[in-house]
Amino acid sequence: MEACYKISRALQSVRKLKPLVHHITNYVTANDCANITLAIGASPVMAADICEVRDMVSHANSLVINLGTLDSRTVESMIEAGKRANELNIPVILDPVGAGATPYRTKIAREIIDTIEVAVVRGNLSEIKALYGIDIQTKGVDSSENLSGDEDVPSYLKVFAMDFANQFHTVVSITGKMDIITDGKRLYIVKNGHEMLSRITGTGCMCTSLIGSYLGAETNSIDGALAGVATMGIAGEIGYNRLDKDEGTGSLKVKILDVIYHLSVKDILKWGKIYEV
């Protein structure tokens, strides 16, 4: 219950401060990321050109780096923006989309986390393992493995997540049917969401934007990561429960935005399935 109150306070901070979240993100989900940032109460900006990223991030409250549609032109922008964010103590959130899918994608993800001080890394289990250095195979940019929502998180995965956080000096959010969030000391499990979310492009990217929104509102890294992941899961679950029998993924996507726009403390306390281990 204490975790739910933390999320509620973080939500109130976002809506009061309206942080500017600078995205260097992928073109497939840029519109979704912008809309969910607006829905939570923050303000998005999508600026990726090397000529302006240092200036733009200087005005921002957080920086989201997303590798979804990776190309060589934006890699330099990501690193320059990240370095500038570090200089100004602006939190950086990394979404290593598809790490492990190709050697190049894995190399860039590792280069970013080695070069930039990253506050939060959010990815699926395959991506996080690839970033850690474990050989995996992915299905495109999707995870080749997942956590079962019907079981407790295995002890070895808790240890792995905490070791990742300690090795890279960051908060890691491993999202799937169940979510793990840890800073290497504290560890949370979130059991919100619905399997239908996996059939909507960009839900992971949108989750990362929510984390960026919370961190931009001066929420500390682990609480902001927890708030972003839990908000996405709660919205997915409430949205699914509001679907009519003839509605599908398109309707769910819209309902998620609506739920987040109207999200209340009461919703978080009622729906939150968050456990500190």
The pLDDT > 90 percentage for the chain reads 90
pLDDT class for 1, splitting at 50, 70, 90?
Answer: confident
Which candidate, 208, 259, 209, places its Cα nearest to that of 236? Answer: 259
Residue 249 is assigned to a ligand binding site: no
Mean pLDDT of 192-202: 94
CA distance 43 to 112: 24
pLDDT at 185 over 50: yes
Q: In which domain, by residue range, is 75 found?
A: 2-276
Residue 122 is assigned to a ligand binding site: yes
Residue in the block written with tokens 């509620």:
8
Residue 193 is assigned to a ligand binding site: no
Q: What is the pLDDT of residue 144?
A: 47
What is the CATH number for 251? 3.40.1190.20
72-128 pLDDT, tens digit per residue, is 889 999 999 999 999 999 999 999 999 999 999 999 999 999 999 999 999 999 999
The domain total for the chain is 1
Residue 202 is assigned to a ligand binding site: yes
Average pLDDT, the chain: 94
Compute the C-alpha angle 218/221/227, nearest 5°.
85
Which candidate, 184, 219, 194, places its Cα nearest to that of 41? Answer: 219
Mean pLDDT of 169-194: 97
Name the H helices within the chain.
2-17, 30-40, 53-58, 72-87, 103-115, 125-132, 155-168, 203-216, 221-241, 249-262, 265-271
Three-class SS state of 121: strand
> In degrees to the nearest 10, what's the CA dihedral of 217, 41, 273, 258?
-170
pLDDT class for 67, splitting at 50, 70, 90?
Answer: very high
8-48 pLDDT, tens digit per residue, is 999 999 999 999 999 999 999 999 999 999 999 999 999 99
Mean pLDDT of 186-204: 95
CA distance 71 to 122: 20
> In degrees to the nearest 10, what's the CA dihedral of 233, 29, 75, 135?
50
131-158 pLDDT, tens digit per residue, is 999 987 655 555 445 555 456 889 999 9
